[in-house]
Structure 1
Amino acid sequence: MIRVLVVDDSAFMRKMISDFLTEEKQIEVIGTARNGEEALKKIELLKPDVITLDIEMPVMNGTDTLRKIIEIYQLPVIMVSSQTQQGKECTINCLEIGAFDFITKPSGSISLDLYKIKEQLVERVIAAGRSTHQKAAAPTVIRPEPKPKPIAKPVWSQPKSGPNRHIVCIGTSTGGPRALQKVIPKLPKDLNAPVVVVQHMPEGFTASLADRLNHLSDIHVKEAKDGEAAINGCVYIAPGGKNISVIKNSGSLKIVLDNHDTPSRHKPSADYLFRSVGKLADYEKVAVIMTGMGSDGTAGLKDMLASGNVKTIAESEESCVVFGMPKAAVKAGLVHEIKHVEDIAASITSCVKKERV
Structure 2
Amino acid sequence: MRKMISDFFVDHPSIKVIGTARNGKDAIKKIQMLKPDVVTMDVEMPEMNGLESLKVIMKECPVPVVMLSSTTKSGAKITLEAMASGAVDFITKPSGPISLDLQKIQSDLIRIVENAATVHVSKLRHAAHMDVGRTTSPIEKVSTISNNAHIVENNLREVNVKHSVKWDSHSKKIVLIGTSTGGPRALQEVITRLPQNIPAPILIVQHMPAGFTKSLANRLDQLSKITVKEAEQGDILQAGVAYIAPGDFHLHIRKIGMSYGIELDKSEPPRGGHRPSVDVMFEDISNYNDFDKIAVIMTGMGSDGAKGLQALKNKGNVIAISESAETCVVYGMPKSAYATGLVDEVADVDDISNIIMKYLP
Place the TM-score, normalised by the shorter chain, in its bin: 0.7 to 0.9
Task: Specify the alignment match of 2:32 in structure 1.
Answer: 44
For residue 65 of structure 1, what is the aligned residue in structure 2?
53
1:37-76 per-position Cα deviation (integer Å, ceiling 9, x unaligned): 1111111221100000111111111111101110011211
Name structure 1 gaps, 5 residues minimum: 1-12, 136-143
Match of 2:284 in 1: 276
**How many aligned positions are there?**
331
Q: Considering only aligned residues, what root-mean-square deviation do their CA atoms show, in Å? A: 2.4
Task: Tell me how far 1:114 sits from its aligned partner.
Answer: 3.9
1:138 corresponding residue in structure 2: none
After TM superposition, the structure 1 = structure 2 runs for residues 136-215 of structure 1, keeping only pairs within 5 Å, are: 147-148=144-145, 149=151, 153=159, 155-160=163-168, 164-215=171-222
Match of residue 319 from structure 1: 327
User: Aligned in 2, Cα 1:74/1:156: closer, same or farther, shift over 3 Å?
Assistant: farther
Task: Indicate the SS of the match to 2:91.
Answer: strand
Q: Matched residues in 1 for 2:167 and 2:56: separation?
A: 51
Q: What TM-score do you get using the length of structure 1 for normalisation?
A: 0.87
Q: Distance in 2 between matches of 1:183 and 1:302?
A: 23
Cα displacement (A) at 1:21? 2.6
How far off its partner does 1:254 sit? 1.2
User: Partners in 2 of 1:130 and 1:347 — Cα distance?
Assistant: 29
Amino acid at match of 2:105: I
1:61-101 Cα distance to aligned partner (Å, 9 max, x none) = 11111011100112110001112111110000000111000
Which amino acid in structure 2 is aligned with residue 61 of structure 1?
Answer: N
Alignment of 1:167-316 (within 5 A): 167-259=174-266, 260-316=268-324
1:120 to 108, 127, 142: 108
Q: Take 1:105 and 1:195, find their aligned partners in 2: how far apart are those partners? A: 31
Cα deviation for residue 133 of structure 1 reads 9.0
What is the Cα deviation at residue 335 of structure 1?
A: 0.7
Q: Which runs of 4+ in 1 moved over 6 A?
A: 110-113
Q: 5+ residue gaps in structure 2?
A: 124-140, 146-150
Identity of aligned residues (%): 49
The one-character-per-residue Cα deviations of 1:161-218 (angstroms, maximum 9, x if unpaired) are 9x81111110000000001110001111111110000000010001010000000011
- For residue 56 of structure 1, give the secondary structure of its aligned residue in structure 2: coil
How far apart, in 1, do the equivalents of 2:176 and 2:249 lie?
Answer: 16
Tell me if structure 2 keeps the 8 A contact 1:88–1:204.
yes
Alignment partner of 1:343 is 2:343: no
Supply the distance in 2 between the matched residues of 1:226 and 1:23 (Cα, whole angstroms). 45
Counterpart residue number, 2:20? 32
Task: Give the Cα separation in 2 of the matches to 1:15 and 1:230.
Answer: 49
Instruction: Read off the aligned partner of 1:50 and give its amino acid letter.
Output: V
Give the structure-2-normalised TM-score. 0.86
2:308 counterpart SS class: helix
CA distance in 2, matches of 1:133, 1:178: 14
Distance 1:160 1:83, change over 3 A: closer
- Contact residue 62 and residue 121 of structure 2 kept, 8 A: no
The separation in 1 between residues aligned to 2:349 and 2:167, in whole angstroms, is 26
* Matches of 1:118 and 1:304, distance apart in 2: 37
Distance 1:14 1:312, change over 3 A: same
